[in-house]
A and B are shown apart, each in its own frame.
Chain A
Amino acid sequence: MVLIVAGHSAARQLAQLGIRAGTTLKVHRSAPMGGPVLVESGSSMVAIGRGMARKVSVQIVG
């Protein structure tokens, strides 16, 4: 993952859960109907709403 373009508090919340610039994420699932994305970072699993997830730019590493 490369960059987070989001509000201060959202970026902080993500960082606290281990999602921050430079970390590698694994996307497990994305729910249908524009539902959230289930992302694993390190050892924790986080559900991120689709709108929020759009603000997380990533680079695919295979």
Chain B
Amino acid sequence: MKIALVGQPNCGKSTIFNSVAGYRAATGNFPGTTVRLAWSTIRLNGNVADLVDVPGIYSLTSANPAESAAKKFLLLEDISLIINVLDASLLSRSLELTLELRELGIPIIVCLNMMDEAERRGIKVSSQQLSTLLELPVVETIGYRGVGVRELFRQGIEQIHQAPTPAEFIRWHRDVETLVQQMQGVVESNSHRHRRPSRFLAIKLLENDEDISREVSPEANDAAAHLRDQLEQVRGRPAESVVMSERHDRAMRLFENSATVTRPRYDPRATLDSLLTHPFWGYVFLAVILVGFFWGVFGLGSLIENAISGKLDLLSAYLLARVPQSGLEHTLIAGLMDGVQGGAGIVLPYLVPFLFGLAFLEDVGYLPRVAYLMDGLLHRIGLHGTSMLPIVLGYGCSVPACMATRILPSKRDRFLASVLATLVPCSARSTVIFALVAFYLGPMWALGIFCFNALVVIISGWLLSRIWPEISAGMILEVPRYQWPVFLMLARKVWMRLREFVVLSWPLLIAGSLVMGLGAYWNLDHYANVALSPLTLVLGLPVVLGTTLVFGVLRKELALIMLAEALRTTAVASVLSATQIIVFTIFITFYIPCLATLVTLVKEIGKKMTALAATYTFILATLMGVAARFFLPLILGH
């Protein structure tokens, strides 16, 4: 049994999904947070069901890969119930999708979400009235607080096996309806074996839907073309737009008959927004927010690092004092403790505040504003303004960032955005920057590296878009309202992302640290370092750092821990010069994306493009590293 959560982008499907399934799906206050189907098995009154979180769609006609995945799912799968989630504050628009879903012949329950937001905007919806007119059950919910969700599923279960029947109130105008019925006759006489009702197919054919027209016979397509012409003659505009306005018209009538609109309450968010999107102050605030974010993460991180590291140092000194020096036991304990310390003392202190900050910005809804502010600049370098969303998400982790490129309509834009998103320092690489550069050389240097990186990203974007020129389609992006994040949701989200570090990277880190220790014990690392010496020599780094660079491909934060391991001290500054620290960091930041990202890239943009991206980033990293090696001493003055 499959239950699908379907609705327009940013209406809160994933929030409802998570409140039932635990935190499994990413949520955020911007359209297109969910780009692939998320599944979870749930229990409902003793029944086991698959709950599916479907990416947001405005209609059943798709504009980008995320939407077509949703459409394909709805057209082809065997679905027992659709939970149609509506943003009650955007009711009339949301109802257009409801009307389209109704035609699918799948049982539907309507979930009026964000009731509190609608009320604030002076929209009072009578769910009873709406239910009567739509002839579908309607349940009111406030997703982020979990209000009404239990009731939604209770009523939903009752609805299974009850496919919607045509409702009187939403019947179309007679002239259009006649043509739909004619088309329906053609479809039926051609006896197509399709999962969906003939009426749905007929309407889609009149809308000139490519996916459906590929599935029906040439005769049906000919008939559809003929009827489309007829419709165009009667109404004086394209058939597609006639069908759309039929739905729009009914949605408006439904809205007018079930909701009353009064004066909205004063909304301070409007004032806030006019400041944050201001042609001048908007950019000032953007800079302030980013720099504030940076200082916040660094300040908190170094505070925690100092508190934890000292204790762990004492612990490892205590343990090491109990075994003989230079024995195998000593090597093992030292390796183990370095791994533990690297995770708890160096990575986590910066990772946790960073993830909290990013989750906050995502949930508040600031990211679409960033896209709005940056679109002009991005367009200059030949990119789509919406590309800003995946690129900003890249600061969290490259993997979801590459997946987020699915909200872009063109293949070329997706390639560019994925490459740029992997160049942006993800939280792991930011940790390297914070813990190495900021910690040893001061925060200004770290800030400098972030700015330098941004510059390289912009130049790369410009360069790549020249190599693969294409006129980027204009941006059309919905900008959602600000939402005050709920702490519990933030914490869950941070945990979801942190879990990966704790259960996957950290053990890997400890294992890597052990391998490295043993390698050094048996003098094996020597060979690896010799093999990599051309690279380390070009970069002007100690030859012993060769192996750490390899570990960096597995996970970027591994390179940091391995650095301490390879140098046999955590007092990095005593062994490496300031220039070497920066060169190392720059190289780690830019070169080949980590393994998880590579795998994602192959899935998103293909093997060839991934190879291209990896080569590009490797060359870029080497060039930048060499440039830093020779130019930095001039600035640093030694």
Contacts and interface: CB of A to CB of B under 8 A. Distances in A.
A36 B92 contact: no
B426 to A, nearest CB: 26
Interface in A11-62: 11-18, 20, 28-36, 38, 42-53
A33 B58 contact: no
Interface string B86-114: 00011011001000000000000000000
Interface in B272-294: 273-274, 277-280, 282
Interface string B462-477: 0000000000011111
Contacts of B280: 32
A10 interface: yes
Contact of B58 (A13, A29, A36): A13
Contacts of A17: 58, 93, 476, 478
Contacts of B93: 16-18, 42-44
Nearest to A29: B277
Contact of B376 (A16, A29, A33): A33
Contacts of B409: 9
B58 to A, nearest CB: 4
B2 interface: no
B121 A43 contact: yes
B376 A10 contact: no
B109 to A, nearest CB: 23
Contact of A47 (B248, B368, B377): B368
Contact of B379 (A11, A28, A34): A34
B371 interface: yes
B59 interface: yes
A35 B372 contact: yes
Nearest to A37: B372
Interface string B232-244: 0000001011001
B323 interface: no
A12 B377 contact: no
A10 B477 contact: no
B476 A15 contact: no
Contacts of B238: 8
Contacts of B240: 8, 12
Most interface-central of A15, A30, A36, A52 (chain B CB within 10 A): A36
A49 B279 contact: no
Given A10-B474, A32-B279, A47 B379 contact: no
Nearest to A41: B93
Contacts of B510: none
A20 B475 contact: no
A13 B63 CA distance: 8
A12 B62 CA distance: 10
A62 to B, nearest CB: 20
B373 A35 contact: yes
A36 to B, nearest CB: 5
Given A17-B58, A17-B478, A33-B377, A43 B90 contact: yes
Contacts of B375: 31, 35-36, 47, 49
Contacts of B476: 10, 13-14, 17, 46-49, 52
Interface string B59-75: 10101000000000000
Contacts of B89: 43
B174 interface: no
Nearest to A8: B240
18 contacts: A12-B63, A12-B240, A17-B58, A18-B92, A28-B274, A29-B279, A31-B277, A31-B279, A34-B380, A35-B376, A35-B385, A36-B475, A38-B372, A43-B93, A44-B478, A45-B478, A45-B481, A52-B475
Given A33-B380, A47-B476, A47-B479, 20 more contacts: A10-B473, A12-B61, A14-B476, A18-B92, A29-B274, A31-B279, A31-B375, A34-B379, A35-B374, A38-B277, A42-B92, A43-B121, A44-B93, A44-B478, A45-B478, A46-B477, A47-B372, A48-B476, A49-B473, A49-B475
User: 9 tightest A-B contacts by CB?
Assistant: A52-B474, A35-B376, A49-B474, A33-B376, A16-B58, A49-B475, A47-B372, A45-B479, A51-B474
Interface of B: 58-59, 61, 63, 89-90, 92-93, 96, 121, 123, 238, 240-241, 244-245, 248, 273-274, 277-280, 282, 368, 371-377, 379-380, 385, 409, 473-481
